[in-house]
Amino acid sequence: MFDFFDNGIMEGLQHQLLTMTETRTLGHNDSVPGDNIRLHSEILARRIEIDGKRKILIRWRPSNILPDEWVHEKEYSPSKVISIRQLQPNALNELNPILFPHHSKRRHKQRRKPSKCT
């Protein structure tokens, strides 16, 4: 009987898990729990409201996970940790190829050469 789950396969699995964790946490492995993801903000615009308050339009990266939003300048944060479980289904679809890049590509079976009929 052969054991196909050897040290090489285990090392490959550990590498894939570490890569996925670094992608999900953006390099902050220890500070982000397992079911959360860290997003970084990008400032798109600034405006001053009629009452004099300053607001910033931010886009969260990776994109299409959270919608763009206006926040008060004092409430601005360069990063945000959110629970993956609370995301909308369309956001989960956007997150899937980011976390699992190899699994998002479909594998195509190679066709066999047709046998020659003689």
Q: Using one digit for the tens of pLDDT, what is the confidence trace for 10-52?
A: 777 777 777 776 666 666 555 555 677 888 899 999 999 999 9
* Of 20, 35, 5, 18, nearest in space to 102 by CA: 20
Identify residue 31 by its one-letter amino acid code: S
Domain boundaries, the chain: 37-95
Residue 93 has what pLDDT? 82
Share of the chain above pLDDT 70, in %: 69
pLDDT band of 104, cuts 50, 70, 90: very low
Strand order in the sheet with 54-61: 69-72, 54-61, 36-48, 79-83
Residue 51 has what pLDDT? 93
Is 0.75 topped by the overall pTM?
Answer: no
Q: Position of tokens 């570490």?
A: 18
